[in-house]
Amino acid sequence: VIVVPAFAWKTVIDTFTTALGIAERVAFLDGVAAGPRPADGGVVTTVVFPQARESAGDWEVDPVEMSAAGRHLRPYGLVRLAQVHSHPTTWTGHSPTDDERAFSHQPGTISIVLPGHALTYPGRGDAGVHLRETDGWRELAHDEVGDYVRVVPSVIDHRRWR
Ligand SMILES: [Zn+2]
């Protein structure tokens, strides 16, 4: 399972929605791996926004920018845990280009698609969560998502006014 602190999820949405203009946006969720395989998941510590070519209906990260966006991984002992990108409409499926351009094709890789340019502040339940299996990508059923992606509180405050 990939554990996503609420702060990290919020950072993705805030940045997607405050970027100049309305376009599909992309980010990567990096963190500490829970095991050697992508399917082992891990804990997200870092959100990365690559320099991408982003338009109303498409996005692409060229190989030079992709490698720049991964340069911090080894020095900090992190791995890329998931990709998040936004779609213009409520459709959160994986397009053929999404299948092709995902950051990894190793089984167990997770790709998250947010609807409506993320303008409605979608939560995990609104997202399309896609799992790479040996023979291709599969969108997880709603009740499966919790086994793969979990959003946890970043702050819990028990203080009371007296
Ligand atoms: Zn897409």
Are 113 and 87 spatial neighbours (Cβ–Cβ below 8 Å)? yes
For ligand 1, the distance from its centroid to the CA atom of residue 53, given in whole angstroms, is 13
User: What Å distances lie between residue 26 and 37, 49, 154, 158, CA to CA?
Assistant: 23, 7, 22, 35
pLDDT given for residue 156 in this prediction:
97
pLDDT given for residue 121 in this prediction:
96
For ligand 1, the distance from its centroid to the CA atom of residue 84, given in whole angstroms, is 9
For ligand 1, the distance from its centroid to the CA atom of residue 110, given in whole angstroms, is 13
| pTM, rounded to two decimals | 0.95
pLDDT given for residue 65 in this prediction:
97
Are 146 and 107 spatial neighbours (Cβ–Cβ below 8 Å)? no
pLDDT tens per residue, range 23-40? 999 999 999 999 999 999
DSSP secondary structure string for all residues of 33-84: ESSSSGGG-EEEEEEE----EEETTEEE--HHHHHHTTTTHHHHT-EEEEEE
pLDDT tens per residue, range 44-55? 999 999 999 998
For ligand 1, the distance from its centroid to the CA atom of residue 2, given in whole angstroms, is 20
pLDDT given for residue 13 in this prediction:
97
pLDDT given for residue 57 in this prediction:
87
Q: Minimal CA–CA distance to 58: which of 17, 19, 101, 29?
A: 101
Give the residue ranges of the chain where pLDDT is below 70: none
